[in-house]
């Protein structure tokens, strides 16, 4: 949802395939999506489970965020519908995350959509106990652009070889092992990096006062993807994405309102 919102903020038409419960939270969430300008045509309503809730805990000293993503939730039961096919097949990018694997219904729907999506963007979200190595491997084999953080990079490559010490070696392994076209690694205050089999670029972080880091990674991915879809050079796209992610950390909440002038102010710091 966060990625879809930020894509919309950056003038990219985005649609959300998800599900809410047949409850007050679900109705309120759908109304909020409409307020944010997001299309709800592909958001299902069901009685299998309540609307999703996430408990967020932020360490005041380190600003590290811990999430308790309550199971089960309505989006664990997204039911495949034929109308998704043409919509996904005609999209410029299909963004998905590993939490979609934690229940068989949504997992089956995701697998069907991955068969027809032309450009697949995998935003890994490793949240214990909601993932298995073999499931992540399957998704990596289908992926075009992989976005992950430093912890996820180390965790996944350690599954295969614990001798990798350098970040560059870990990235090259994933590129070779799974035939990935692109990898983006977010590193918090240490910036971000973009990699293909024969190119890489590092973007420094921006000096800002952190208010709330929730959703900054989603904002970063959306900003990078928006630039890429507009044909912007990867270096410039990465720098812009870092600025958007930084801006979101200066705000409260994961979906603040902003304009390009707000992002330009961050880039000047």
pLDDT at 269: 76
Residue 63's region, left for phi above 0, alpha for psi from -120 to 50, else beta, is left
Both tokens of residue 254?
């994961």
2-14+87-267 domain in CATH 3.50.50.60? no
Q: How many residues does the chain have?
A: 269
pTM for the predicted model, two decimal places? 0.94
**Distance from C-alpha of 82 to C-alpha of 99, rounded to nearest angstrom:** 22
What average pLDDT score do residues 85-104 get?
Answer: 97
Nearest partner of 2 among 250, 232, 248, 240, judged by Cα: 248
**Distance from C-alpha of 189 to C-alpha of 27, rounded to nearest angstrom:** 37
Residue 74, pLDDT > 90, answer: yes
CA 185 to chain centre: 12
Summary mean pLDDT of the chain: 95
**Distance from C-alpha of 183 to C-alpha of 202, rounded to nearest angstrom:** 12
Residue 67, pLDDT > 90, answer: no
Residue 139, pLDDT > 90, answer: yes
Residue ranges per structural domain of the chain: 2-14+87-267
Residue pair 228/92 in contact (Cβ under 8 Å)? The answer is no
* Structure confidence at residue 62 as a pLDDT band (50, 70, 90): low
In DSSP notation, 189-218 reads: GG-EEEEETTEEEEEPPP----S--TTHHH
* Structure confidence at residue 65 as a pLDDT band (50, 70, 90): confident
Task: State pLDDT tens for residues 146-179.
Answer: 999 999 999 999 999 999 989 999 999 999 999 9
Residue pair 51/21 in contact (Cβ under 8 Å)? The answer is yes
Nearest partner of 185 among 123, 99, 100, judged by Cα: 123
pLDDT at 128: 86
Residue 18, pLDDT > 80, answer: yes
Residue 1, pLDDT > 90, answer: yes
Q: Please count the CA atoms within 13 angstroms of the CA of 257 that sit on its side-chain side.
A: 3
* Structure confidence at residue 243 as a pLDDT band (50, 70, 90): very high
What average pLDDT score do residues 74-97 get?
Answer: 97
* Structure confidence at residue 234 as a pLDDT band (50, 70, 90): very high
Residue 210, pLDDT > 70, answer: yes
């Amino acid at each position: 949802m966060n990625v879809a919102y930020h894509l919309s903020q950056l003038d990219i038409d985005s649609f959300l395939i998800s599900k809410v419960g047949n409850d007050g939270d679900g109705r309120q969430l759908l109304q909020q999506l409409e307020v944010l300008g997001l299309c709800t045509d592909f958001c299902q309503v069901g009685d299998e489970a309540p609307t999703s809730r996430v408990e967020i805990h932020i360490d005041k000293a380190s600003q590290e965020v811990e999430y308790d993503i309550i199971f089960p939730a309505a989006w664990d039961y997204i039911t495949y519908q034929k109308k998704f096919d043409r919509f996904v097949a005609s999209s410029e990018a299909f963004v998905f995350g590993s939490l979609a694997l934690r229940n068989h219904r949504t997992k089956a729907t995701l697998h069907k959509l991955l068969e027809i999506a032309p450009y697949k963007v995998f935003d890994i979200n490793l949240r214990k106990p909601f993932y298995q190595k073999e499931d992540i491997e399957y998704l990596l084999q289908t992926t075009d652009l992989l976005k992950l953080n430093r912890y996820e990079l180390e965790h996944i490559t350690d599954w295969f070889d614990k001798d990798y010490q350098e970040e560059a070696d870990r990235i090259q392994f994933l590129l070779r092992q799974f035939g990935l076209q692109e990898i983006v690694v977010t590193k918090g205050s240490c910036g971000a990096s973009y990699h293909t089999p024969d190119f890489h670029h590092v973007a420094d972080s921006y000096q800002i006062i952190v208010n709330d880091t929730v959703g900054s990674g989603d904002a970063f991915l959306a900003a990078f993807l928006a630039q890429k879809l507009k044909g912007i050079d990867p270096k410039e796209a990465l720098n812009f994405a870092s600025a958007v992610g930084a801006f979101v950390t200066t705000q409260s909440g994961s979906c603040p309102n902003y304009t390009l002038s707000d992002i330009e102010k961050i880039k000047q710091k």
